[in-house]
Amino acid sequence: MNRVFQWCVTVLIVVTTLSAIARANGNEGGVNVGDSAPVFSLMNVDGKKVALSDFSSAKGAIIVFTCNHCPYSVKYEDRIIALHQQFASQGYPVIAINPNDPVTVPEDAYDQMIVRAKEKKFPFPYLVDETQEIAKAYGAKRTPHVYVVANTKDGSKVAYIGSIDDNAADASAAESFFVSDAVTALLAGKLPTTPLTKAIGCTIKWKKK
């Protein structure tokens, strides 16, 4: 009897674990390429709200889920700034969003975002996703995680999901520039040839329930 009980407990634990793993893997509630971009209105580091709809007159936007503390995000900071400088004037500005739980990572708290935005002179909005609902709506898993959205007559559509390029450690050694290529294709009226890429990154720090 005791053995049976133990076995049941083990099975229960494993099933719970596996379903948690399955949830982590599935793009649960997340968007795919071609889907409508979830709308948002989030607090910027300047204390004002910024909404996706503020950019409806642009051609689209480069939405980057990123944060202060993650070494991968830090390595990409200058490249994210460069993307904004290259593409904002052509209608694709960067919108950075930090979804991390500041309880887990104090460096990612709102006041620290203000400090970082000033230090790096971010030329783009750096928004706090306090409830983490926007990251969930997009299906963002890691930082940095990029969503290029294009404004069409049917609204904002997701055109690219993934990484910025193929070399996080060394920008000068990168050979494929996924976001840049995707936006360049959209500007030419084409769909990105590589609409989805994977990359290593820091897991988004979800709030503990």
Partner 1 sequence: MILYSLLMLLGLSSAGVDEVNLAQLQSRIYRGADTTYVVNFWATWCRPCIEELPAFEALARKRSKEPVVVLLVSLDAPIDRETKVEPFIRKKGYDHCQVVILNEPKPHLWIDRVDQSWSGSIPATLFVKGQRRLFGEFQFNEELLDSTFTAFHKEEK
For residue 115, state whether it binds partner 1 (rule: CB under 8 A). Answer: no
Phi, psi of 201 (to 5 degrees): -170, 175
CB contact at 8 A, 87 and 79: no
d(CA 192, CA 209): 38
By CB under 8 A, name the one of 8, 13, 39, 103 that touches partner 1.
13
The alpha carbon of residue 44 and the mean position of all alpha carbons in its chain are separated, in whole angstroms, by 16
For residue 10, state whether it binds partner 1 (rule: CB under 8 A). Answer: yes
Stretch that binds partner 1, among 87-95, 118-126, 148-156, 162-170 (CB under 8 A): 162-170
For residue 176, state whether it binds partner 1 (rule: CB under 8 A). Answer: yes
Task: Map the footprint of partner 1 across residues 188-207, applying CB under 8 A.
Answer: 197-205
Stretch that binds partner 1, among 113-121, 150-158, 171-179, 182-190 (CB under 8 A): 171-179
The alpha carbon of residue 185 and the mean position of all alpha carbons in its chain are separated, in whole angstroms, by 20
CB contact at 8 A, 72 and 144: yes
For residue 167, state whether it binds partner 1 (rule: CB under 8 A). Answer: yes
CB contact at 8 A, 108 and 170: no
SS3 138: helix
Report the residue number, 52 or 204, with the smaller CB distance to partner 1.
204
Binding site for partner 1 (CB under 8 A): 10-11, 13-14, 17-18, 20-21, 24-25, 70-72, 105, 141-142, 162-163, 166-169, 173, 175-176, 178, 197-205
